[in-house]
Structures are given as C-alpha cells and as structure tokens.
Chain A
C-alpha cells in the first residue's frame, strides 16, 4: 500500500507557485495578472495555478510524471488496476468506456434509464443498443435496477453482444446485483461497464453497496465531483485487470482536450487523498444526516422517503442510504412542483424533481440547520399545497421500440413535423426529460401515442424537456418517408 497522504499534483503545483516561474506560455491571463476582474472574482490563488502542461506538471494526454503518480494513487484507493483523470465530466468517462468497448454494429446491452451520454456515445460509435426493460416500481414511479434473470435471458438472446452497461446506483439510490451480473456477463464473454456517477462513496464509506471494482466489473465511470467533493466537470474512469489501459488512453485522447485544467486535476488529487484518509468518517456523517432527514420527513405524513425496505433481492438488490429520495405523489403534487416550491417559496435548491419524486443531495458540506430547514419547508408545503391526487401520472417509464441504430437515425434524411403528427414515425433526435436526463425518445425509436401524451404532460408539469432542434418541443424531427 503506497502512501495515501501524498498528493503529487498538489505538491507539484505548490512547487511551481513557490518557484515563481516567469510565464511565457499559455494561458494568456498569466497567473491572473492580465485579467484583474477575473482574478478578483475567482481569487489570486486560484488563477495562479490555472496553468498549462509543463514538464514538472506532466501532461494529461501522455502522463509519465506527477499526473501518472496521482492516477496510480487513485487506482489504489479505488481498488482499480488503472485510473484516468477526466476533465470533460463523467459524460466523457462514460463515452470513453463505451468507445473503448464496442464498435459500429456491435450490440451493447443497457437499461433504458441510462444517462444521455450513453446514447450519445452510441451515435458516435455506431453500436446498437439492446435495451433491458428495467423493472419499475409503479407506486413510486421510478425505474429499479436490472433483474439478474433479465440479464441472463438477454445475453442468451444476443450471443454476439460485446458489452453490458449497468447504472449503479441509479440517481434514486437503487443498486443491482452487480456481482452476479458481472459473473454472468463474463461467462458470456461480455465486458461489464458501470455508470457509477452516483457511487464514489461506495469505495470509502462503511456499510455501502458493493462498488464496481470490488464486484469485478471491467470499467467504471465515477463522478468524483458528486459525492467525492472535487470540482464540477472533474471525473474518474476506472479500469479493471482485463482492460488494456493503453488503448483506453488512445480512446480518451480522441475527444479529450489537450489543455486539461489543473484546477480540475488538482481537485481530483486533493479529493482522493481526503477520501482515502477520512472517507469513512465523512460518509458516516452523510448517512446520519440522510437517515435523520428520512425519519423526520416520513413523520410529516404523505411524503415517502424510501430506503432499504425496498430491497427485494433482485431489481432492488441494495439501496444507497446516503440518497434522500422522496416520493410526493400522496401529496397530490408532482416532484417537480415540490422542487419549484422549495426554490421559489423557501429559497432551497434541491437536486431534482421528476413526476413523482424529489431528490435532495446530502453531503459532508451540509449543516444541521439546513437539514431542519428542508424538513420544515416540506412540512409547510404539505400544510399549504396538499391536494387531491387523483390526476397524478405515476409511472414514467415507456418501453422503447428501436427501429434503427442511434447513429443511422441521427445522420439520416429527416423532416420536421408538429408533435401531434409524429405518431407512428421514427424519431431522429433525442427527447430528454431533465433532470435526471433519461431519454423519452432516442434517435431511431418509434414515436407512439403514449410517448406524445407523456411529452405533453411533462411539459405541463414544468419538467425541462431538452434535445430536439425545436426548443419548445412543439415539433420533432423524424425520418423522411418512413
């Protein structure tokens, strides 16, 4: 075990600052001196380390020095064979993972509740999605994890599939049986990719669901900037023993910037050290906060803050108790309505609201008094806004019908039609309900009556729908003549 108290990138940047190197390289703000307003806004110490690659600071595209050391320490801390620092968000980590595993025409098995970045990667590489119908909880209106039996059947039906992607945990905290799924996939010769955007803490906390690397998965995309505390847009790509890391680096370099930000990179280094040294204590606190808030919110009435009682041994194999997911349907309010009320009336910004649920993100940065405010505001919203819940649409999962590969449909000849006239046509673009960014339609899918009315309903309820060229989603692009 090497010394996790080290932070090689941080040390190198501090050395550079002490040396007072005279900058005749980019960035042109020259340690902030050329842009006083920016320096005043972000702070001198921040600007002084916004620098370019140089020998003592290594190079993200070809790490041989301090970046490599920092990545090795990270790999060790996460129990991975290799770790890559990513500066294009977890989106870039997810895309690299897919581009490194499947090629044009290859089949990849995925749950429908994947992040937009996954299907975008399929547009880039031309692989064909095989969607697993996620199990859904119709009462809560959320997609659950993957059922092991569904995985077994799908692998049997698609013997040529090259990879399987697992969302673990989901945004809501639901975990699949990652160990069994990995075993089955490996027996079938598939590579196991895990979108672990919401699971950084699985590697460090006590009593956590199993992490991707511990379960034997081949690759995992980990959002250090979510529960790990690093800067927004910094992320990690972890690889297991069976993956050729040199090839993965080539894939990353296809799309990643050659001017990786040292602000982002150093935040990964510092956060990894912090998690390795204090992770248990940090996530104990987060779990305590979340448990307390859950109990208090459930005591208000009508709200349902769910947890491990959902576990059913399969599609809910485990639950991430740091997540504060709350169902609002019994209140007669859509999650998105509660989300808006919290912000507009009570000055509280939560992570997201969908049709039936809200998620408040709990972290080490929280304070008791803010947790109390959240609980009390929810109590007040119930007192003041509760209404008859008859017209609430509970479930939001609609099974897709894939007619073309995302790449073929995305680049095909297309025409624009009013939403109401789109039924029966093949969509050539995305329709995303955001957050949490799960596709309602992806390129190549059949537009059904159910989908059209879902889009209209989500618009009415104030969800942000994104993706189509037509920003108001009054029209959709469909394949010409089909």
Chain B
C-alpha cells in the first residue's frame, strides 16, 4: 500500500507546483513530476509479488514473472512526455524573448 500512497503524494506535489507557482519553468517542472508519478503507478500495476524479469529462457522452466506490458507502456509514455516537455520548454524560451520575464502574472495579454 505504501508505494501507492507515495506515488499519489508525488502526484499531489506536482499538482501543487502547477497550481501555485508563478514561474513558467517551475510549472513545467511540476508537470514533469506529475508525469513521473504516473509512470511509477503504471509500472506498479504490472508488478507481481516475487516475480522475476519476463525473459524466456529455454533452459529454465517459466516461473513467476511480472507483467511486461505496462513496462512497454511506460517506455512509450516517457517518449511522449519527452516530446511535450521539449515543446513546453521551447515555448517558454520564446515567451521569455517576447516578454523578458517568466512570471505568468505579467504574461497576460489574453483575457476572458
């Protein structure tokens, strides 16, 4: 149970960062932390108590192995997360060039 709670705590930490920070870079870091907590959760869904790595070895009989599918999902999700983070940071750099600040309270031309 404790790993799940810690994972949830990590998610809340990220959410807190996204909601309360004013600095664009800190918001992006908050989003990343939320993503990581999800990756951990996804990997944990495939874990089986006492399972070993899912490698087929003809010389040894198949014992208890963990589910390999969520691991493949996590890898895919990490690649997608990389793309979104890279794009967010690129936009953050362009925003800084236009506004000369990272403060979201001062980047507010769009309203309503």
Q: Does B associate with A? A: no
